[in-house]
A and B are shown apart, each in its own frame.
Chain A
Amino acid sequence: MKLRCERDVLVDALGTAGRAVAGRSGALPVLSGVRLEVTGDHLTVTGTDLDLTITVSSMVNGSVDGVVVAPGRLVTDIVRALEPGAVTLETGDSESGDEDLRITAGRSAFTVRTHPAGDFPRLASPSGDAVTLPAEGLSEALRQVVRAASGEDSRPILTGVLMAAEAGGLRLVATDSYRLAVRDLPGAGAVLSEGQKVLVPSRALGELQRLLGSAAGGDVELRLGQHDATFGTGSVALTSRLIEGEFPNYRQLIPASYPNRLVVGREALLDAVRRVKLLARDATTPVRIALRPDGIELTVITTDWGTATEDVDAKYEGAEMTVAFNPAYLIDGVEAVPTDEVVLDTLDALKPATLRPTDSDDYLYLLMPVRVS
């Protein structure tokens, strides 16, 4: 294999594919490698940990077709450190008979041992029909929903994001059992047949969100298979294993109506919560919100550090009461609301509250309070 290209092309490809490279110790050694394949002037770079696979395609100046699997972290570090300009990658036999990868740029030259290319898993991508989603809408939906998924492996189902056909659209749902985020993408119903649903690991969707964040506009091609899903964005394909199992029945959690409604400026609320949160030095200290007709008062009380309060102007209709939330969870929900004002609906201090935008029912963030005494 031999190719020549600009350093930055390689840095991008290696950096993106490298995000799927197995970080865990104990994985197969070959999974710590990235697979580079040259066919004509096409270079594809692939990283995988068997759950998540990312493949990046780039145009390069290829001179010899071939495949090599090189240590991902090392090669990425090397290429990133090179002087800007042209880089040449070339395989060659080492004295011991194994294949080496030679990386040269300007006056720098590295010779790196490789993994046997045959050991790298052959990963089949779903072959079903592709459907197209606007990248912008999907990106926003991911930003709003992925954050509510659980990061703990103790309940694998909750580490996934549910993608389900819903009333002719696509619905994304995630919960870590403390909060629940639901986002509808109307008109994206062609993705799934009515009633169909899949559970995609939130880690994969987080990576997809990163990819979409850096590419404005465009489309995402989605292919669903029996056990995996592939998201394609131009030059990058991200394939994830699907999570098996039944997602909790989230519909029964969403109250049908609320007696109390608060409407408050999104930025004003975020700024105030971030300020009083400074006093919450451990993850379990809640922020208390006193709901009054003329506005709200935020309070954080700790035995070790002191107290913080802040008043925020707001419109409130309902019974006067105080409700407490985990400040990080509250910030996650308020940030995810796209409008200038957010609506906070409450039942009482111990029942789930809901954050949503003022102008649509596309997004809902259900948040369980913290009981304080």
Chain B
Amino acid sequence: MTAGNVATLWHTGAVARPTIIHVDMDAFYAAVEVLDDPSLAGRPLIVGGTGARGVVAACSYEARVYGIRSAMPTARARSLCPHATFLPGRFDRYREVSEGLHAILSDVTPLVEGIALDEAFLDVRGAEALFGPAPSIAADLRARITAELGLSSSVGVAPSKFLAKLASEAAKPVVSDGGTRPGAGVVVIEEGQELAFLQPLPIEALWGVGPATAARLRRLGLSTVGSLAAVPLATLEGAVGRSHGRHLHRLAHAIDDRPVEPDRTVKSVGHEETYATDRFDPAVLHTEVLRMSDAVAARLRDAGVAGRTVTVKVRYGDFRTITRSRTGPDDLDASRDVARAASALLDAVDVSPGVRLLGVSVSALRPVGAPSAEQLTLRLDAPAERPEAERSAGWAAAADAVDEVRRRFGARSVGSAALIGPGGLRVKRQGDTQWGPAAPGADGGPGSGGRRRERDALP
């Protein structure tokens, strides 16, 4: 078989009915803020880190008119649109709304793959028998999301995940200098139209083409997906490497056979935090590690999983980023065990250049209660130490007690003594300063005042 035959087969392989739906909420975090505070409607609104080093997590379409985009430094957004409203973000609230979204999607089919709080893939091949063809399911979903959640979304329908995502992108509201006009809402890539849709797009539309790959391909004169598709596979492999080249070749021919995988299992649980100023003091960083380990461990226990690999991530002031990880014999889900491993990893990192961001995560997860096995170790050192078994059992019980107290009295009701600061117990919660710290005295932030204070309060 020649290479040409393979390409032809792939073409035919790509032709399939559009039964994959991609639902993507429009400016999700910003839209939730508007939902909760209608006075913000129609105004430029930015959710993200509000401090000097924050980044934009989401922005309303009114803000996008000023050229503001996700992942842009907040400081830049401020200079582009000084009169915009900046909010620090409320992760718990977004998750709550997200659960509503997923409940709606799950009504259609169990084959829902959540990608993020605000986006999911559905495979509706089976559901079509009940609810009609995929394009009408897509339109119904979008109407239900608007009616029940009060939020707007964009929906793509296509024969593959990759194309469905591009389709939902094409359905988005359009931002231009003059303002924002509504998008199509639902875009369907019909059977046979895949290549016509795909090939005029810029190469950056392909999943896996970042700035570096794009620059390399443009040097070869390849700027559209169509031009990429016309290049022999071997040329692509030579330009970007064998497996990456093969991957791009397939995508450019609209071939993507990744299935929709429901209930994507969590691969890791982690927290990271960007600091307002670089942290140099190892003692301070160790306290931060303890705080994050505590939060990570609580989420592990909440999810009923434990992991063997602990990773510490350090980003220096110059953005150089390193990670250090350690895989032990035991599944960890107690704050103390995670903190001990993370602290040891931090010890091996030179923090003297100053730390801008610190993160702790646990991976190699397994459900707790699944047959577990812990390789016991010989007590080679310190004969005075208590037996390993007794020690672990003690801390597992303590962790359970902490969880129970927090369930009843709130996240900041109990924690390690090392975490007590002037403003009380500083317990890390998911979403806190994920996009950079709040500006001093700004909304949110533990113990600070502000408009959102009442929503930040403990239940």
Contacts and interface: CB of A to CB of B under 8 A. Distances in A.
Same complex for A and B? Answer yes
Interface of A: 158, 175, 177-180, 248-250, 252-253, 284-286, 301-303, 324, 326, 350, 352, 366, 368-373
14 contacts: A158-B380, A175-B378, A177-B377, A178-B375, A253-B379, A253-B380, A284-B375, A285-B373, A324-B373, A350-B389, A352-B378, A366-B378, A370-B373, A372-B371
Contact of B378 (A177, A285, A371): A177
Given A175-B380, A372-B371, 11 more contacts: A179-B378, A284-B373, A285-B373, A286-B373, A303-B370, A326-B375, A350-B389, A368-B376, A370-B373, A371-B376, A372-B374
A248 B381 contact: yes
Interface string B358-393: 000000000000111111111111010000010000
A301 B371 contact: yes
3 smallest A-B Cβ distances: which pairs? Answer: A248-B380, A368-B376, A371-B374
A329 B365 CA distance: 24
Nearest to B367: A303
Contacts of B374: 370-372
Contacts of B380: 158, 175, 177, 248-250, 253
A324 B373 CA distance: 9
A252 B383 contact: yes
A324 B377 CA distance: 13
Contact of B373 (A249, A252, A372): A372
Contacts, number: 56
Contacts of A370: 373-376
B210 interface: no
Interface in B306-331: 329
A322 to B, nearest CB: 13
Contact of B376 (A249, A252, A369): A369
Interface in B383-438: 383, 389
A79 B389 CA distance: 57
A177 B389 CA distance: 16
B385 to A, nearest CB: 12
B400 to A, nearest CB: 15
A250 B380 CA distance: 7
B344 to A, nearest CB: 10
B373 A368 contact: no
Interface of B: 329, 370-381, 383, 389
Contacts of B375: 178, 284, 286, 326, 368, 370
A198 B378 CA distance: 22
Contacts of B389: 350, 371
B306 to A, nearest CB: 12
A54 B378 CA distance: 34
Contacts of B383: 249, 252
Classify the secondary structure of B's interface with A: loop
Contacts of A252: 383
Given A302-B371, A371-B389, A253 B376 contact: no
B378 A180 contact: yes
Contacts of A253: 378-380
A352 B388 CA distance: 13
B372 A373 contact: yes
A204 B379 CA distance: 26
A249 B378 CA distance: 11
A284 B374 CA distance: 8
B310 to A, nearest CB: 14
A177 B372 CA distance: 20
A180 B379 CA distance: 11
A6 B43 CA distance: 88
A156 to B, nearest CB: 14
A152 to B, nearest CB: 11
B56 to A, nearest CB: 42
B116 to A, nearest CB: 28
Nearest to B370: A303
Nearest to A286: B373
A368 B379 CA distance: 10
A249 to B, nearest CB: 8
A371 B381 contact: no
From A249, A252, A284, residue with most partner B Cβ within 10 Å: A284
From A302, A366, A371, residue with most partner B Cβ within 10 Å: A371
B383 to A, nearest CB: 6
A350 B388 CA distance: 10
A284 B329 contact: yes
Contacts of A285: 373
A250 B373 CA distance: 25
A89 to B, nearest CB: 39
Contacts of A179: 378
A352 B329 CA distance: 17
Nearest to A366: B378
A369 B383 CA distance: 19
A234 B146 CA distance: 86
B34 to A, nearest CB: 46
B24 to A, nearest CB: 34
From B374, B378, B381, residue with most partner A Cβ within 10 Å: B378
Contact of A368 (B370, B371, B377, B381): B377
Given A252-B383, A350-B389, A371-B389, A303 B371 contact: yes
Nearest to B387: A350
Given A252-B383, A284-B329, A350-B389, A178 B371 contact: no
A370 B329 CA distance: 10
A350 B372 contact: no
A299 B388 CA distance: 25
B62 to A, nearest CB: 51
A178 B377 contact: yes
Nearest to B369: A373
Nearest to B372: A373
B278 to A, nearest CB: 30
